[in-house]
Amino acid sequence: MAKKIIWLKNAEIQMFSIMGYYQERNKSKIYSEKLYREITQKIKKLDSKVAFPQKTSIKNLYYFTHKHISVFFSITKTEIIVKLIWDERRNPQNLNSNLEEID
């Protein structure tokens, strides 16, 4: 049975911010839409163990990277909860502070 995918509000905001950046930079929605589709497909495949997540130092928090975007999430028996979307080219110190704010 497929798990329900839940996006926390901050993760949604981060995702749309990244997509907006690429739309503005490229003057087109095409790359943003393609990147969004690829990431959401990878999240859906987590349930069937196609995308192999990495464990973080935070209990029950995993991530995978697609191109330069990291997706941090937790998994329960019935849900995949997307908690943070991170562009790897940002300052890594900011990532640590964002990870501390999860949960």
Secondary structure of 59-78 in HEC code, one letter for each residue:
CCCEEEEECCEEEEEEECCC
Hey, what domains does the chain have and what are their CATH numbers?
4-101 (3.30.2310.20)
How, if at all, do strands 79-87 and 4-7 pair? Answer: parallel
pTM metric for this prediction: 0.84
User: Which pLDDT tens digit goes with each residue over 17-60?
Assistant: 999 999 999 999 999 999 999 999 988 887 655 556 788 878 88
Q: Which tokens hold the place of 97? A: 């502070």
